[in-house]
Amino acid sequence: MDSKKYILYADDDTDDREMLEQAFENTPYVLLTFKNGQQLLDYMSQVKKEAVNLIVLDINMPMVDGIMTLRTLRSDEALRDLPIILFTTSGSPMDRTSAEKLGARVIVKPVTYEQLKQVSQIMLSYCAGYKPS
């Protein structure tokens, strides 16, 4: 990683990853995508953590799901204050409670692309120093 600012997104759904990539075009951030939580965790073990501005996790993924990924990230002292969003179709109160106890926000995936653009702006607001244009 260089001096760029990064947002990491783990989701096993290719369409969801591609749509969020489009929503983050023309922002000052590079969106890196992963197919599951394990890929994201492997990546995080090899990079400068301060270059990552936000992590977005789907809850239901194979191998390592979003909640387990969140727990692992929060166990790292250097990542305790990093903004993390669980981005999911799940409306489960248990998922929301688990995420909030670990200091993450839950955002339900929107239905339309226009709603996704609005949600992407909410996500960006969690990045330190982000100023909307």
Q: How confident is the model at residue 41 (pLDDT cuts 50, 70, 90)?
A: very high
* Amino acid of residue 112: T
Q: In what order do the strands lie in the sheet with 5-10?
A: 29-34, 5-10, 52-57, 84-88, 105-108
Q: How confident is the model at residue 80 (pLDDT cuts 50, 70, 90)?
A: confident
* Average pLDDT for the chain: 89
Lowest mean pLDDT among 73-87, 98-112, 118-132: 118-132
First to last CA, the chain: 25
Give the CA-trace dihedral at 82, 128, 40, 47, to 10 degrees.
-90
* Range 66-79 average pLDDT: 92
CA distance 88 to 108: 5
The pTM for the full model equals 0.90
Rg of the chain over CA atoms, in angstroms? Answer: 14
* Range 99-127 average pLDDT: 91
* Amino acid of residue 16: D
Q: What is the DSSP letter of 76?
A: S
CA distance 47 to 39: 13
Homologous superfamily in CATH for domain 5-124? Response regulator (3.40.50.2300)
